[in-house]
Structure 1
Amino acid sequence: MTWILGVNAPPTGWHDSAACLIDGSGEIVAFSEEERINRHRHSLYRKPLGAARFCLEQAGIAAADIDVVALGWDSEQLYPRRFATDADFLAYAVGLDFGDRTPEVVRVPHHQAHAASSFYASPFSKAGVLVVDGHGENESTTVWTYEDGAEPRLEHTWQRTASLGYAYDAASTWLGFSFLNAGKTMGLAAYGRAAHLDVEPLVELAADDFRLAVDPLTESRGSATADEIKEHYDTVVGRWRERYTKIAGADGPTAPEERLTEDPRAILVAYTAQRLIEQTVTHLAALTRKTSGVDQLCLSGGVALNCSTNGTLPGPLYVPPVPHDAGVALGAAWTVRPPRKRTGPLSPYLGTDIHHGAGALGPAAGDTSDLVRTDLDIDALTALLLDGRVGAVAQGRSEVGPRALCRRSIIAVPDTADVNTRVNVIKNREQWRPFAGVTRPAYGAQLWEQQEHLSHYMLGAAKATELGRRVAPGVVHIDGTTRPQVLHGDEAPAVGAALDSLERHGAPPVLLNTSFNDKGEPIVNTAADALTAFRSMDLDFLVLGDDLYRKPNRTGGAR
């Protein structure tokens, strides 16, 4: 058996490190982001050692059995002559003890790894693939044509001077966020859309090109080291921040983060950056389809997490559950060995089982005598939800990617806007932040505009219908959109059963769904993580595997 370990790892992949193990047929055995294991969000500068060990455990193999380690970056270009041998590189980047046999190291260009992670996860046999992020080795945007049985073709490329990711990073940092909190910028931008703001266009579009409004003064060269890229990033982002300062007439918000919706300048900057992304990506999506000669479109790279933009693009469109840098662990592995059998769209439930390392609810979970446990009964769970209670679900293997897809989720009935307020308080989030909804396919068709694939992973905003606004106001944002998820079959057993039970009880079968984690923490991974988070957060119940936990003497709901 051939084993290929894909990684996003330092020194190149310095955030969102991850590991993915595939076998000789390209089938995924396991995939995990390191943050889920080490509990440090985005796992900055940390090697994916825990994630790699998890993958090996799932396969029942040792590090010495790995034949190839595929890295989603050309580390030799970015860090020339830093490592004398592949063994030295693997010790630094991954940390596994491979014994006397050093596996082959394959360095996959970053954007090619992104492209592969999207196409091979999709249901398409041929597609145009658009990759948009901050930067790869030399580029920030690329267009590809992928087809089963053929070598991928790189059709167009734009260098770092044209980085949409840099432009959005600058807006996020102008607003006081980290560049890793771009989702907040997107959520704030919706207030500009709702107000029908007229914003300054920051891009000029041509037939097969685009030009951004900010001239960074220094052109990026075709090949650069990591230090040179960092210097260039600082220059370009600095120029973009100057442009946003000129647009807003201030060098930052005048309101604190929790009250940014009261600051017209903050909303203006967020919406200006959002419109830049939407206008340019729409143009590039059309160019990708024209170049590839097919309507099927795959999207990847960090900008593909912008679900507001994704929701404006016509289908057929596929975005994988891990379009950001963690996904290049999968894409690098698949570049070495594409999957022989493709059924797409990819199941996201590839991570740690909730009882991993615990046997059942054993030592890894700890003492639960402070909680009231009963066997999970769906009617009892439905009664709690209909009573306005807010709880969490942790079942089965965890989903990969930054969106909780009902196996590590907080859930509630979204029949009032007040539930949005309460869940934001529970998660210690700003009150202007929105939530998403989950339902079954048939009812989803009545609640919001349809999305063929984006709703598998909650990666596209959709306009709510009049019925959606009426029955689920808790998951409708200020601009009238939601970020829906549609559950098929028994993908997430407890949530799926609860939705079906709500319908049997005559209630709208839709729930608020958000990630099960407190502020600043990764999504919970194991039973121990779930119980720790349940105790620390103001939640009413916890579905943990086949058990239902309550806090003793808890009487009040949300109503």
Structure 2
Amino acid sequence: MNAPPAGWHDASACLVDGSGNVIAYSEQERHNRVRHAIGDGFNKPTAAARFCLEQAGITVDDLDTIAIGWDIDQMFPGFFADERELASHATGFDFPGRLPEIVLVPHHRAHAASAFYASPFSEAGVLVVDGNGENESTTIWSFSYDREPERKYGLPRTASLGYAYDGASEWLGFHHLDAGRTMGLAAHGRARGLVVETLVDTDGDGLRLAIPPLPENDGRATIDEIGSHYGATVTAWRELYAKLAGADRPTVPADRLTEDPAAVLVAYTAQRLIEDAVTSLAATARRLTGVAELCLAGGVALNCSANGLLPGPLFVPPVPHDAGVALGAAWSVRPPRRPGGAISPYLGEDVRADGVGPTAAQGLVRTGFDPDRVTDLLLDGQVGAVAQGRAEVGPRALCHRSILAVPDTTAVHERVNRIKHREQWRPFAGVTSPQYAGTLWERQEHLSRYMLGAARVTDEARRVAPGVVHVDGTTRPQVLAPGTAPAVEAVLAALAGRGAPPVLLNTSFNDRGEPLVNSAADALAAFRSMDLDFLVLDDALYRRTPGGR
């Protein structure tokens, strides 16, 4: 689990069996509909855990172990009277009878396990980069199925690349958990050929940041110390960006940030810091572990632009951020016995389990799903959504909870951003079949499986799919593996059958500030609240009646 008191955002729960097979996995935000599950009373993964138990047909009494992806005893010494109180606080469940074994897995160890055991590799180095764990912000690990994981390298909390990026996001007026907006804005700096300050020295194996690490105790850090260090370090970075920009904040609102040279400068400066540092750390990981195969985890591994610069073989799991430590903690206790290929991300709630009654569908016309009919709508310029099968885990929509459009013009990019109430400078990703991917963008062996690496597009992509080409000439592609998302796969095939390019704009099915839709009820509610033209829900196609909402 990723659970309080340490896991205060992106709470999640994962259930594995005795052989390490994943039975169910879900993020709390998908159930309570509060993005990142932030807020007093919202950040316990109770609903996510309950979903996992129900999926397996068991109760808490059947659990052998509860693994939490933080060393809570270190961070909150003496906070809990006993393990029963800790278990109840973390999960929100009562344990009146037998208490499962409680295992506290160090945060970076859990991150690393979530990446390696989700990968197809039998041996790999793992680079973990995030805001902070208990005592570190960056670690390098050596993993193999033949031996225990080994920590090879570490940087302290206040040498945090995550903190450095947070400082830029906060200067821009964003929440630090919304750093994807900073990354999207940074591309405008790259496209303009900005020359920016280099804020990291990457000579040798170490990193020397422009903001030196604060003095830290060599011993075990408490949550108060971590909070104090975070505030001081992020403030120092924010002040540095202000000095470089010559301003304390942007001069325009968020939807016009591309018009503010200082805002673009700050975003691109922070992005280059991450790219330079991660490129150096990846090389260090390969040298220290002696293997070419590399996995990434931690919140910084969501930085698709940085990931896309790294040479392969490279794997990033669908949940590299803090929600992923639920999986990594479970696998630290019950690891898979052998590589099983890259993990399926479709481990959440199934829309087929949530029947749609006549009241929920009032004002809508329901017909059976027909890929040819959906293709007609898309080729006519309509924008729709799909909610089919089990929800994907992680922040990227992977065609089970997606908004779709034909990206043959830049106008569709503008319309989808309006539908999602986003800034017009925000980019979109494309999805296509394995057979067509090489004609659109650079091939990526694993990153395009979960839409976690930027790739440079081809001239053909600029011609046939300008709606998914970002200003710097990249996109964040998804290559859809056969049999993983039947509705979208059928539409791509239908497009090809018509002689149209089999590529779609694919973005998350959610309105601004909301998590991805989870249940059928969520999908219908989001469809009604957004200016979408149609909805594929399980095996049905829903459209509005005239005047219907």
TM-score by length of 2: 0.98
Shift of 1:220: 5.3
**Aligned mates of 2:547, 2:308 — CA distance in 1:** 40
**Aligned mates of 1:433, 1:369 — CA distance in 2:** 34
TM-score by length of 1: 0.96
* 2:404–2:504 CA contact under 8 A, matched in 1: yes
Where 1:82 maps in the other structure, the secondary structure is coil
* 1:64–1:99 CA contact under 8 A, matched in 2: no
Where 2:158 maps in the other structure, the secondary structure is helix
The answer for the alignment partner of 1:49 in structure 2 is 46
**Aligned mates of 1:369, 1:187 — CA distance in 2:** 38
Shift of 1:369: 2.6
User: Is 2:502 the partner of 1:515?
Assistant: no
440, 459, 476: which one aligns with 1:483: 476
**Aligned mates of 1:40, 1:447 — CA distance in 2:** 36
The answer for the alignment partner of 1:246 in structure 2 is 243
Deviations 1:433-489 (A, max 9, x none): 000000001111110001000000000000000001110000000000000000011
**Aligned mates of 2:403, 2:350 — CA distance in 1:** 18
The answer for the alignment partner of 1:203 in structure 2 is 200
User: Is 2:17 the partner of 1:27?
Assistant: no
The answer for the alignment partner of 1:80 in structure 2 is 77
Q: Which runs of 5+ in 1 are unaligned?
A: 1-6
Q: CA RMSD in A?
A: 1.1
**Aligned mates of 1:89, 1:366 — CA distance in 2:** 42
Identity of aligned residues (%): 66
Matches within 5 A, 1:165-184: 165-184=162-181
**Aligned mates of 1:246, 1:366 — CA distance in 2:** 57
Shift of 1:216: 4.7
Shift of 1:366: 4.5
Where 1:351 maps in the other structure, the secondary structure is strand
The answer for the alignment partner of 1:495 in structure 2 is 488
User: Is 2:161 the partner of 1:164?
Assistant: yes
User: Is 2:4 the partner of 1:10?
Assistant: yes
363, 369, 377: which one aligns with 2:370: 377
The answer for the alignment partner of 2:55 in structure 1 is 58
Shift of 1:341: 4.0
Deviations 1:484-503 (A, max 9, x none): 00001121111010000000
User: Is 2:418 the partner of 1:418?
Assistant: no
Shift of 1:161: 2.0
* 1:355–1:361 CA contact under 8 A, matched in 2: no
**Aligned mates of 2:166, 2:470 — CA distance in 1:** 23
Q: Which runs of 5+ in 2 are unaligned?
A: none
* 1:300–1:324 CA contact under 8 A, matched in 2: yes
* 2:159–2:213 CA contact under 8 A, matched in 1: no
User: Is 2:426 the partner of 1:429?
Assistant: no
The answer for the alignment partner of 1:328 in structure 2 is 325
Where 1:170 maps in the other structure, the secondary structure is helix
Q: Which runs of at least 4 in structure 1 moved beyond 6 Å after TM superposition?
A: none
Shift of 1:553: 2.5
* 2:255–2:423 CA contact under 8 A, matched in 1: yes
* Distance change in 2, residues 1:219/1:19 (3 Å): same
94, 98, 101: which one aligns with 1:97: 94
State the aligned residue count: 545
* 2:428–2:475 CA contact under 8 A, matched in 1: yes
**Aligned mates of 1:550, 1:535 — CA distance in 2:** 10
Shift of 1:299: 0.3
Matches within 5 A, 1:503-542: 503-542=496-535
Larger deviation: 263-272 or 367-376? 367-376
One-letter identity of the residue aligned with 2:29: E
The answer for the alignment partner of 1:316 in structure 2 is 313
* 1:540–1:554 CA contact under 8 A, matched in 2: no
* 2:242–2:249 CA contact under 8 A, matched in 1: yes
Where 2:438 maps in the other structure, the secondary structure is helix
299, 311, 326: which one aligns with 2:296: 299
Shift of 1:217: 4.5
Where 1:245 maps in the other structure, the secondary structure is helix
* 2:145–2:338 CA contact under 8 A, matched in 1: no
User: Is 2:308 the partner of 1:282?
Assistant: no
* 2:428–2:507 CA contact under 8 A, matched in 1: yes
**Aligned mates of 1:384, 1:217 — CA distance in 2:** 57
**Aligned mates of 1:446, 1:310 — CA distance in 2:** 21
Shift of 1:343: 1.5
